[in-house]
Homo-oligomer: A and B are copies of this chain.
Amino acid sequence: MTTNAKTTPYVYSFKDGDGKNKKLLGGKGANLCEMTQIGINVPPGFVISTEACLNYLETKDQDLPSELMDEVQAHIKILEQDTGKIFGDEDNMLLLSVRSGSALSMPGMMDTILNLGLNSSTLPGLIKQTGNERFARDAYRRFIQLFGKVALGISDEKFDKPFDSIKKREAITEDTDLSADHFREIGELFLDVVHSETGKPFPEDVYEQLQLSVKAVFGSWLGKRAIDYRREFKITPDMANGTAVNIQTMVFGNMGNDCATGVGFTRNPATGENVMFGEFLINAQGEDVVAGIRTPKPVHKLANEMPQMHVELSALSDRLEKHYREIQDYEYTIEKGVLYCLQTRDGKMNATARVRTSLEMSNEGLITRDEALLRINPEELEQLLHPCLDPESKQMPVVHGLPASPGAASGKIVFDADRAELARDDGEKVILVREETKPEDIHGFFAAEGVLTSRGGKTSHAAVVARSMGKPCIAGAEGIEVDVEKHTARVGNITLHEGDVITIDGANGNVYLGEIDTVPPKFSTELRTLLDWADEIADLKIMCNADTLEAATKASDYGAMGIGLCRTERMFNAQERLPLVIDMILAKDNAERQDALDKLRPIQRGDFKDLFKVMSPRPVTIRLLDPPIHEFLPSEKQLEQEIEHLECLKDTVSGVNDLMNTMHLLKRQADAKEIPKPFGPGGRELVESAIAKKQQMLIKVRELFEVNPMLGHRGVRLGITYPEIYEMQVRAILEAAAECNKEGFGVCPEIMVPQVCTRKELLWVREIVDQVHADVETEYDIKLDFKFGSMIEVVRACMRAGRLAEIAEFFSFGTNDLTQSAFSFSREDAENKFLPLYEENNILQDNPFETLDVKGVGRLMEIAVDWGRKTNPDLKVGICGEQGGHPESIRFCNHIGLTYVSCSAPRVPIARLAAAQAKLTEDEYFPE
């Protein structure tokens, strides 16, 4: 055992520990200290620090450091003095709870042992002392099971089996109907389980009990569940390292009807409403509430059942929130009319509640506006922007449960977490259906669209975890009987099998058979207000990536300050236009190409007018054609197959069906504008002309083949090869702007050139634009403003930023492409081949296509911004890659002084909030 010189203690009394030092004491421990020190009635206890945990784990020793147990004993002595009880004493025994608690809340991840200190000698004392043999024996069997599970690693099922057999023998369904004798028998059976599972008798020595428990809690830090959780949530050692152990005097909510236990929130965590929220159970121990074995009552009923306690609880709730300036999620126990607070922590809540409480707490003066903005995780807002069930849908629910986490989802039923994961990997959407969930089901939550349990309340494990993930959850849907082994569930006389589709609505607890349409979410006034605050604070403007009127309208509603990226090729791809685009590609000469372009121009002009009007007077940035033109053609293989198929048809145009099929096929492929009447002559000729066209396409496709299309003939390279395409697009843009102007809409078109890598490319396009601009001004007799800019998505453009800024009035980082070429990763290839391995092995922390790679791509951006602004200090610079809507990336964009970020419509609110947060926390941001 290594014994490094140790200057600070391992153990801290609740009376002394630093309530702010969550790293050392864990979140739970720090809060217990804090509450104790501000005078809240907390059962006395102490905390073993995370430092002790790490030292123990590092030494890989079997034993706890001897100094640690010395300190623990000293603190037990203090507890004995404070409570007047003695640990292990037969008559006046001190009973303890042992709980883990790391710096970050990891709900359900770590373990709890209650009633520690009971053994065959102290049990009779407890019976005598409480005069309640049933209570004492119940406490004892609970202790044996918890200790067996947590400290000795015996699975719950080993204990459930004898427990259930007794209930079955006695024909008892509710635990409350078990008698003291039953519990005695159960306790004995449990001791046998421990003996047979471990080969040793249950430890009688209370210090041995304590020591084993502490070791088990420490060890659980390296358990698979905990490690998985930390990986999933990207909890790094600097955020939480090791777990503390909280050792606290037991208080009992199950000593009689003047006892109760409950959990509460200072405000409603589902709606944010400012009313005390929670559930309680009379005569019960904490785990009964959480486990969902009995269905608890809402807290307002406490006012009837224990009026004084309700008053005290309200006061406690108030006190906690005012002190912590945050919604609190607390546990309490009432032992014989005395209210104890056992734990408090910042309340998890859904986004609706987070938004509403932020606004209201700020309005109440409890927190500042900045704090209000900072307490919302921007990603959470996504929940508010997700669809809910179509209220028009008239389908009747088949069963109803507690609305535990809002949102709606459909998917195939799976009955365990592993299956959920497998199905998800096969691309299936699934709903996890369980009697109740446990921490080890966590991967099932990640995999599933939503969770449905037949037991448990709104604070059950399932509810808490689902809420924290923003996934829909219905808990305690008692009308469902789940048979996990048979992989079926019964609802009335319906049997559901794995793979059947259901829909759940976490907002109201309804479960439906089959899939139900969803409708877009509503954007609450609270959120609007908060985001207005955000806009006032942020430096970054938030633009949207939108190619359609629909997307632009939505983005505008979400507060987009313009369009930062309109991809014109999306417009080319629309079904009625593609044939024109194909004609343009197949054109044998400039005249033919111009002909096709002349047909496309009014269509594009119309598109642009729509966008300009909905965004008026905000800027609309239009990117000229980018993708390689072979993307508009079918693949070689597809064409070969189609030709083969058509060739067959040609020779066998005989029966009605064949001909009909031919016609159908032809229509689908839009080669024939008008279908001749069935059987009309000319069927064969039509097929032949279709073949000819396909063959023409095939030749072109082969000619256009590229080894690395990502690095091929695209963007401005294309524009320079076929200047008439860009010319058409620029004309359509400026004509649209002119017409909008005439119709009284202020417009601000920004023309953006993709794939630029040399100054001369940009100059080349600029000349076209200036020429067309002059033409359009003359034709429409109007003065037209516009901006001309460059995508910065080619690495070389970053290096040439100083020169490009001589010509471009704005830059827009295309971080998708920039990331690909900075890493030399083809996204399509990387994500299928080696990226998973890279993430698994921590060679890359994040997928750089999702989160901006600040260290590499970010450096390129920083250089480009610096050099560009050196040429033109007023240079407008934005980002329009996918990462533009990602809060962490936004933080970096703010840091390097970008003017705007542009993201998809649903990310706009997230980006607005993130931009404000980035501004507010800029001083604390130091990227490598």
Which of A42-50, A503-511, A818-826, A873-881 touches B?
A818-826
- Please, how many angstroms separate the alpha-carbon atoms of A112 and B841 in the complex? 75
Map CB proximity to B onto A697-737 as digits: 1 under 8 Å, 0 otherwise: 00000000011111111000100110000000000000000
A614 interfacial contact with B, CB 8 Å: no
Tell me the residues in window 824-849 of chain A with beta carbons closer than 8 Å to chain B beta carbons: 824-826, 828-830, 833-834, 837-838, 841-844
* B837–A712 touching, CB < 8 Å: no
* B761–A843 touching, CB < 8 Å: yes
Q: Report the nearest B residue to A717, measured CB to CB.
A: B834
- Please, how many angstroms separate the alpha-carbon atoms of A821 and B829 in the complex? 16
Q: Taking each of A761, A830, A856, which has the highest tally of chain B beta carbons within 10 Å of its own beta carbon?
A: A856
- Please, how many angstroms separate the alpha-carbon atoms of A720 and B844 in the complex? 13
* A799–B860 touching, CB < 8 Å: yes
Which of A464-472, A482-490, A752-760 touches B?
A752-760
Task: Say yes or no: A822-B824 contact (C-beta < 8 A), given A713-B833, A796-B857.
Answer: no
Q: Which of B712, B821, B842 contacts A821 (CB 8 A)?
A: B821
Q: Which of B712, B755, B757, B844 contacts A829 (CB 8 A)?
A: B712
A794 interfacial contact with B, CB 8 Å: yes
A795 interfacial contact with B, CB 8 Å: yes
Whole-angstrom distance between the Cβ of A161 and the nearest chain B Cβ? 41
Q: Report the nearest B residue to A834, measured CB to CB.
A: B717
A679 interfacial contact with B, CB 8 Å: no
- Please, how many angstroms separate the alpha-carbon atoms of A477 and B764 in the complex? 32
- Please, how many angstroms separate the alpha-carbon atoms of A757 and B826 in the complex? 13
A435 interfacial contact with B, CB 8 Å: no
* Chain B residue contacts of A497, Cβ below 8 A: none
Total chain A interface residues with beta-carbon distance under 8 A? 49
- Please, how many angstroms separate the alpha-carbon atoms of A758 and B853 in the complex? 11
A870 interfacial contact with B, CB 8 Å: no
- Please, how many angstroms separate the alpha-carbon atoms of A834 and B704 in the complex? 12
* B720–A824 touching, CB < 8 Å: no
A800 interfacial contact with B, CB 8 Å: yes
* A826–B706 touching, CB < 8 Å: yes
* Chain B residue contacts of A712, Cβ below 8 A: 826, 829-830, 833
A588 interfacial contact with B, CB 8 Å: no
* Chain B residue contacts of A837, Cβ below 8 A: 720-721
Whole-angstrom distance between the Cβ of A792 and the nearest chain B Cβ? 12
* Chain B residue contacts of A706, Cβ below 8 A: 826, 829, 833
* B760–A711 touching, CB < 8 Å: no
- Please, how many angstroms separate the alpha-carbon atoms of A359 and B860 in the complex? 48
* B794–A824 touching, CB < 8 Å: yes
Q: Taking each of A707, A711, A800, A857, which has the highest tally of chain B beta carbons within 10 Å of its own beta carbon?
A: A711
- Please, how many angstroms separate the alpha-carbon atoms of A859 and B866 in the complex? 14
* B757–A823 touching, CB < 8 Å: yes
Whole-angstrom distance between the Cβ of A89 and the nearest chain B Cβ? 56
Whole-angstrom distance between the Cβ of A855 and the nearest chain B Cβ? 6
- Please, how many angstroms separate the alpha-carbon atoms of A795 and B713 in the complex? 21
Map CB proximity to B onto A757-792 as digits: 1 under 8 Å, 0 otherwise: 110110010000000000000000000000000000
Whole-angstrom distance between the Cβ of A928 and the nearest chain B Cβ? 8
A817 interfacial contact with B, CB 8 Å: yes
* Chain B residue contacts of A829, Cβ below 8 A: 706-709, 711-713
Whole-angstrom distance between the Cβ of A786 and the nearest chain B Cβ? 24
Map CB proximity to B onto A675-701 as digits: 1 under 8 Å, 0 otherwise: 000000000000000000000000000
List the 3 closest pairs (A to B, CB-CB), nearest first: A708-B826, A711-B826, A796-B856
13 contacts between A and B (CB under 8 A): A707-B826, A707-B828, A711-B824, A712-B829, A713-B829, A721-B837, A764-B843, A793-B824, A794-B824, A795-B821, A795-B823, A796-B823, A799-B856
